[in-house]
């Protein structure tokens, strides 16, 4: 029996976003996009891990959601089947990425997320499974569970949203629950046995970007630093988030390069 129904669909950069309703009438978001990279095209299916989110990042659209509920493993899997059934011909020759970052934080729904990833790894053995977290403080076990899956053959890409090199500023940005410090994230990243762990930085005006702090906690051989920009929404406008000016972003990038970090820049979709 299907648990999700389509409420509406919208055009987004590179593809389509689907607002779905759960059986108890909560709204979630799934997305189907095509990323054109030098290595070829990749189809990215983005899924939600909850309706709403209790991390409460000040720049996030989920602040407008009054309810929060973690999704079940079935609801996670059904989002992928929904998107694939909706558009079975969408560049079927492309590589596949299933990305758990559309809405909610996977670390807060670890049991259901790990169970769904286990199924994805069996059903889509060639897919990259992207697990992106803002790193709320959680009980032990989630990252160990991910490592076990990775060790058993799943292709997991672990990502942390950092956005500043100050723990105090991270706590301010995501103020509703305690967050892991950069030192704690560094322990997970440096131990991770798999492809490089991505550290995601939207470089905000007025926040700290001190490469010496990163050097203290992150081995350059274990991480990839992704430089990102703001996706504007009502919350970024209300709280007056701005991208830094280009010269400051370049200074951060040059310091990272000098320190030996591998970098990636988020591209705009074609
Ligand atoms: S963790 Fe992700 S979904 Fe949750 S509030 Fe922060 S940005 Fe939004």
Which is the closest atom of ligand 1 to the Cα of 53?
A: 4
Q: Does 20 contact ligand 1 (Cβ within 6 A)?
A: no
Alpha-carbon distance 160 to 199, whole Å?
5
12 pLDDT above the threshold of 60: yes
Domain spans of the chain, in order of start: 5-265
Reduced DSSP (H G I as helix, E B as strand, rest coil) percent helix, strand, coil of the chain, to 5: 35, 30, 35
Q: Does 108 contact ligand 1 (Cβ within 6 A)?
A: no
User: Ligand 1 center to residue 269 CA distance, Å?
Assistant: 22
Going by the DSSP 8-state scheme, the letter that residue 204 receives in this structure is B
| CA pseudo-torsion sign 244, 17, 50, 116 | negative
User: Ligand 1 center to residue 262 CA distance, Å?
Assistant: 25
Which is the closest atom of ligand 1 to the Cα of 62?
A: 8
Q: Does 60 contact ligand 1 (Cβ within 6 A)?
A: yes
Return mean pLDDT, the chain: 94
Pick the CATH number of 5-265 from 3.40.50.80, 3.20.20.70, 1.20.1440.230, 2.40.110.10: 3.20.20.70
Which is the closest atom of ligand 1 to the Cα of 63?
A: 5
Q: Does 56 contact ligand 1 (Cβ within 6 A)?
A: yes
- pLDDT, tens only, 223-250: 999 999 998 999 999 999 999 999 999 9
Percent of the chain with pLDDT over 70: 97
Alpha-carbon distance 104 to 48, whole Å?
6
User: Ligand 1 center to residue 63 CA distance, Å?
Assistant: 9
With vertex at residue 178, the alpha carbon angle to CA 228 and CA 137, rounded to the nearest 5 degrees, is 80
With vertex at residue 172, the alpha carbon angle to CA 66 and CA 70, rounded to the nearest 5 degrees, is 35
| DSSP codes, 15-36 | EEEEEEE-TT--EEEEEEEEEE
Q: Does 103 contact ligand 1 (Cβ within 6 A)?
A: yes
User: How many residues are present in the chain?
Assistant: 270
Lowest mean pLDDT among 33-47, 80-94, 114-128, 157-171: 80-94
Atom 6 (ligand 1) nearest CA? 57
Alpha-carbon distance 111 to 48, whole Å?
15
CA nearest 51: which of 78, 74, 72? Answer: 72
pTM for the complete prediction?
A: 0.94
User: Ligand 1 center to residue 62 CA distance, Å?
Assistant: 7
């Amino acid at each position: 029996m299907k648990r999700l129904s389509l409420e509406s669909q919208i055009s987004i950069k590179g593809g389509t976003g689907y607002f779905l309703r759960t059986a108890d009438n909560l709204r979630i978001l799934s997305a189907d996009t095509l990323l054109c990279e030098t290595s070829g095209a990749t189809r990215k299916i983005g899924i939600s891990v909850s309706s709403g989110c209790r991390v409460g990042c000040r720049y996030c659209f989920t602040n407008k959601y009054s309810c929060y509920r973690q999704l079940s493993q079935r609801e996670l899997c059904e989002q992928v089947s929904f998107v694939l059934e909706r558009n079975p011909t969408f560049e079927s020759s492309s590589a596949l990425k299933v990305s758990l970052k559309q809405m909610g934080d996977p670390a807060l729904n670890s049991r259901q997320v790990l169970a769904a990833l286990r199924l994805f790894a069996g059903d889509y053995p060639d897919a990259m499974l992207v697990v992106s977290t803002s790193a709320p403080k959680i009980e032990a076990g989630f990252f160990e569970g991910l490592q076990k899956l990775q060790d058993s053959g799943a292709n997991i890409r672990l990502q942390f949203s950092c956005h500043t090199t100050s723990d105090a500023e991270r706590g301010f940005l995501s103020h509703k629950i305690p967050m892991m410090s950069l030192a704690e994230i560094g322990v997970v990243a440096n131990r991770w046995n798999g492809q490089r762990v991505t550290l995601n930085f939207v470089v905000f005006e007025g926040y700290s970007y001190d490469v010496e702090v990163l050097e203290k906690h992150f081995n350059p051989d274990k991480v990839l630093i992704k430089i990102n920009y703001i996706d504007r929404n009502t919350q970024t406008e209300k709280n007056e988030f701005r991208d830094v000016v280009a010269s400051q972003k370049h200074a951060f990038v040059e310091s990272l390069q000098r320190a030996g970090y591998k970098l990636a820049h988020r591209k705009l979709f074609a």
